[in-house]
Amino acid sequence: MTWLLGVIGDPVSHSLSPVIHKMWIREHGFDATYEALQVKRGELEHALETLSQREALGFNITLPHKEDALALADETSDIARRIGAANTLVRREQGGWRAENTDAPGFVRSLLDAGIEVAGSRVTLLGAGGSARAVAISLMDLRAEITIANRTRERAKALVSETGITAEICSLEEGISQAATADVVINTLSLGHSGKSLELPEATGQYFYDISYGKPAAAIRAEALAKNWQPMDGLGMLVAQAAYSFEHWFGVLPDTKEALAHCRKLVEATT
C-alpha cells in the first residue's frame, strides 16, 4: 500500500515541500508519494474527504488553509492551539485528523542551527500577521525580550492578547528606525513578495532574519548586507518544519543538511 502525502495550498506550485519530502521518502525507503495539491479557499473540508479515500497519511498545509485545518481537525496539539493554526495534519488510526504546527519548532531549530541565542536578548519582530504568531510564541518560550512592530498597533495588540505572550508594541516606522538597538530583528512582513524592501538603519553586525527566501527575500537581504547586518533567510526554517512533519507521519526525524543544501542550490539558481 502506497501512502499519500502532500502539501495543500493555493498557490502551491512553487512549493519546495515535494522536493524535500521525496528526498527523505527515498532515503528511508518508505512506500509513499508526496504531491502538491492546489485547493481553493473554502474547499479544504471537501478536499480532505476526497483525499482520505486515497490512503492519505498526512498533509502539510499552507496558505490560505492553516486556520481551517485547525478547525476541521478531530484532535489538536497544544502548540497548534496556541498559534491558532495548523501547518500539518496527521491521519489518526481511529479516523479523522490530528492538527500539528511544526512552524514553531522549525523556527527554533533554525535559530539553533545558526547559533543564534535569543534567551534574554532584545528581539524586534516586524509584522503581526499569521506568520508572526508562531515566531512570537517561540520567542516567548525562549525567554526573549520582544518588541512587535506593525503598521497597525491594534493587530499587534490582538496577537499579544490571543497568544498570551508578553511584548512591547510600537509602530512599524518606530520598529525599523530603532531596529539597531535590538540584538536580533526578525521580518515576517510580506513586502518582498511584491518586490518591495525596507530601509534599515546602520547596524553593528546584528542578525536580520527574514522568514522569506529566494526572490521575495533578495531585496531586503541586499539592504541588510549594505547596512552591516548579518542576513539570514527562512530556508532553514522551511526544511526544519518539514523534518518535524515527516517525524509526525513516520516516527523518524530525518537529517536536514542534505535537503537544505539541495534546496539552497535550487533557490540560488532561480534568484
Q: Would residue 257 show up in a list of annotated catalytic residues for this protein?
A: no
Q: What is the dihedral of CA 18, 132, 221, 257, to 10 degrees?
A: -40
Burial class (CB in 10 A: 0-12, 13-18, 19+), 226: exposed
Residue 30 belongs to some domain of the structure: yes
Residue 190 belongs to some domain of the structure: yes
pLDDT band with cut points at 50, 70 and 90 for residue 194: low
Q: What is the pLDDT of residue 49?
A: 94
DSSP letter string over 90-146?
EE-TTSSEEEE--HHHHHHHHHHHHT---TT-EEEEE--SHHHHHHHHHHHHTT-EE
76 vs 183: CA distance, rounded Å: 34
**121 backbone dihedrals φ, ψ, rounded to 5°:** -90, 155
Q: What is the pLDDT of residue 132?
A: 95
Mark whether 182 and 227 lie in a shared domain. Answer: yes
How confident is the model over 101-133, as pLDDT tens digits?
999 999 999 999 999 999 999 999 999 988 899
**What is the amino acid identity at position 171?**
S
Residue 70 belongs to some domain of the structure: yes
From 22, 40, 66, 157, the catalytic residue? 66
Q: What is the pLDDT of residue 10?
A: 95
Diameter of the chain measured on Cα atoms: 57
Q: What is the pLDDT of residue 237?
A: 97
User: What is the rounded radius of gyration, in angstroms, for the C-alpha atoms of the chain?
Assistant: 18
Whether the pLDDT of residue 38 is over 70: the answer is yes
Mark whether 20 and 48 lie in a shared domain. Answer: yes
Mark whether 183 and 114 lie in a shared domain. Answer: yes
Our CA angle for 248, 50, 15, nearest 5°, is 55
The binding site for NADP(+) consists of 78, 127-131, 150-155, 211, 234
Number of independent structural domains in the chain: 2
The cell for 145 is: 525580550
- Tell which of 100, 117, 150 closes a domain: 100
pTM of the model: 0.94
CATH (domain of 30): 3.40.50.10860
Residue 254 belongs to some domain of the structure: no
Residue 167 belongs to some domain of the structure: yes
The binding site consists of 15-17, 62, 78, 87, 103, 127-131, 150-155, 211, 213, 234, 241
Mark whether 91 and 112 lie in a shared domain. Answer: no
Distance of CA 10 to the CA centre of its chain: 16
Burial class (CB in 10 A: 0-12, 13-18, 19+), 110: buried
Residue 153 contacts residue 169 (beta carbons within 8 Å): yes
The binding site for shikimate consists of 15-17, 62, 87, 103, 213, 241
- Tell which of 79, 100, 121 closes a domain: 100
Domain hosting 23: range is 3-100
138 vs 107: CA distance, rounded Å: 8
